[in-house]
Copies of this chain bind each other. A is one copy, B any other.
Amino acid sequence: MKFLEYKAKGIFARYGIPVPRGVVASRPEEIRDPPLRAMVKAQVLIGGRGKAGGIRPADGIAEIRDVAGRILGMDIHGYTVRTVYVEERLDIEREMYLSFTIDRSARDTLLIASSMGGVEIEAVPHEQLFMEHVPALVGLHPYVLRALTRALGLEGHLAEKVADIARRSYDLYRAEDAELVEINPLVITKDHRVVAGDAKLVVDDNAEYRHLEYAKLDQDRTPLEEEAHAKGITFVQLDGDIGVIANGAGLTMATLDILNLKGGKGGTFLDLGGTDDPDRVAQAFEILIKAKPSVILLNIFGGITKADTVAQGVKRALDGMHATVPVVARIKGVNEDRAREILKGVGMHSADTIEEAAELAVQVRRGGV
């Protein structure tokens, strides 16, 4: 789960992390009582807003509304700006970087900090990064914070403030099941406050059941992905036109790769998982059909999965939606012959291997079959 900046900042504030004062709006005239020396910031779930012109200064209510009006509706890397955040403009003395994230290799949490803030962390040279693991079994102890503030060259009150923000960020990271808590830039103002200039928060989708309050947030999903998510279906929209559906994430990825090697391009990643419940299969196919693929490529390798009930689900969806989209299927599993029978009834093309199925799908798309 990703969070728009203003929502992330709301959560940060709950943990006592200082954030600038701000107001949110989806139309210029909604902006009331904003900070009068402001930054107007596009709220989109993608980086690079600043360079794209999505973050601009404005002074006074009139200019703020004017600038907001120009930012609202902008397209930033494919994302339409529907919300702006009008925030107190900070007098920046120094910008730093601070984040907690998961280190998969070390199977541990990684604290990353840098005295180079306000830029993409990937662009910061390795020797400019402070990195320290924070093991979940013992938690964040003062020695890490001492090393952190030392690496940032901070002393006295500023060191204490940054250490405190780091401690609170880690609490947030743990308690909110975050994958990423990032403050970039972490700003020292000219009047010696330490404030989260930006706030990025990504929460583990698998922990949604522990944070039901987040379930309805704006997500980085297309409307169809959102619909699939609501139904518990693993679905990603891609930029090709062949609808790929398979069982298992790895197999679905491999099917897309093979399709590509055969000259086709996948328009969907749809992982049926282990299900052979015809109702679930039908639901998944409905999503798939709504994605308007030119052809559907179905690849089931079901050692245990019952192929015939999968086929029933496919048939049910095609019939129910009066869909005429051609289906190329490669089905292996229990009752695979019966499955082929059922799908032949809806005009399905059949293949023995993924490779053949992929080739066939490409041919069908070209109108060659």
Contact = CB atoms under 8 A, between A and B. Distances in A.
Contacts of A138: 137
Contacts of A137: 137-138
A136 to B, nearest CB: 9
A97 B137 CA distance: 30
Interface in A336-361: none
A175 to B, nearest CB: 15
Interface string A79-117: 000000000000000000000000000000000000000
Interface string A125-139: 000000000000110
A214 to B, nearest CB: 24
A280 to B, nearest CB: 31
A137 B136 CA distance: 9
A138 B138 CA distance: 9
A365 B137 CA distance: 58
Nearest to A135: B137
A137 B137 CA distance: 5
Interface string A191-203: 0000000000000
A329 B218 CA distance: 81
2 contacts: A137-B137, A137-B138
Q: Which 2 A-B pairs have the closest CB atoms?
A: A137-B137, A137-B138
